[in-house]
Every structure is written in structure tokens, then in C-alpha cells.
Amino acid sequence: MKIEKFVLGSMGTNCYLLINEETKELVMVDPAACPDYLVSHIKSNGYTPKAILLTHAHFDHVMGIDAFVEEFDIPVYLHEEEKQILEDPRLNLSGVFGSSYSYHRVECLQDNQILELAGFQFQVIHTPGHTAGGCCYYEKVEGILISGDTLFYQSVGRSDFPTGSMSTLVRSIKEKLFCLPDDVMVYPGHNDLTCIADEKMYNPFVR
């Protein structure tokens, strides 16, 4: 797997392209925006997008959905408990931070579901706390975790937004993420990558 990161949108969200180098198929994670240069990059490299994965539905992770779906005609996946948040501008915060936004044409996922896309197998790990339906995507063979706003480099996501809970967030991390192998690389929704071992040892929010 080749992973390309693009920092998009007003909040500096990490949008990832998870690329199968043999087939040139890719999975996109959290399209915060849809800049022309990113569409051109995908096309000029001969990549074939197969799906969009959402870690959660806050506005700064989803505002590019419509344009990418229109351009590439691909499905959008998120955890079933997050669907309501994506559909409600008050809950997804778009109505607070800018123009109201909602999206309704999604495929809903369940905890521990295995999603086969672009030659990869992604395990859905429901990690509520930042939002009620937030989730991470674990690719065991590649040894990577897409953590969204659940787990950051020596930090965790905010829990003071609608449906958030700090105690639930910490429990999600301890019980569902810290049981993964120490060498799993963590690709968060903002800032730099990290690994499970370092977060277990150094993250001051999860003790």
C-alpha cells in the first residue's frame, strides 16, 4: 500500500489516498474538500478511486464528498451510528462553522465489519467518544490504522461537541486500539502520524 496525505480544508484535515500500487485502485479517507489539483493528481496518475471512507461526519472531514462522488461515481461509507450526524448540520457542525451541509447517500457500517476495497481488507473499529459513531479503519496486513479524530500524536480528539464524551473516548482507545500490535502505524485526522506503542507510552490523555 502506498499512502498519500493531502491536508485540506479550513481545519487542516488529513485526507488520505490508500493506493494499491499493482492495480492503481485507491480508497479515499475523509475528503475535507475537493480541490482541482487533487482531482488532477488522481487522474494524471491513472488512479481509480473505489470508495470514500469516513472516520466521522464533522464538517471538516466531509465537505468534499459531493464533488468527488460526482467526479468518480463512488460509494461513501461510515459507521451506522454516524449517519444521523452526517445528515444534520447542527450535529456535524457545518451550521456552526460555516455553510450548512448534509449528505444522505451513504453505506452504513457495523463494528468489526470487514470491508474489502481496492485489494485491501479494512476492519471497522467503532470508537465512540469524539462522536457517537466515530470509527477507525484497521488494515492488518499493511499494519496501519486510520484513526480519524479518535487518536492523535500524543493527544486525542475533542469531546465537547454534540454526541461526544471524554470518558467514552478514552475507553474506546484503551479497549479497542491499544490492544492492536505495538508496531501498527497510526494515521490520524490531523497532524503527524504515530504508532500504537508510542501512544501507549507517552499519550498523557490515556492513562
The pLDDT value given to residue 98: 78
Its pTM stands at: 0.97
94 lies in some domain: yes
pLDDT tens digits for 124-167? 999 999 999 999 999 999 999 999 999 999 999 999 999 999 99
Query: Which residues form the domain of 162?
Result: 2-202
Q: Does residue 15 sit within a domain?
A: yes
Give the chain's domain count: 1
Q: Tell me what pLDDT residue 11 has.
A: 93
CA–CA dist 126, 10 (Å, integer): 26
Pick from 13, 16, 21: nearest CA to 5: 16
| CATH code assigned at 172 | 3.60.15.10
How many Å apart are CA 80 and CA 56, to the nearest integer? 10
pLDDT at position 96, please? 87
How many residues make up the chain in this entry?
Answer: 207
- Mean pLDDT (the chain) is 97
Phi and psi angles of residue 80, each rounded to the nearest 5 degrees, phi first: -60, -30
102 located within any domain: yes
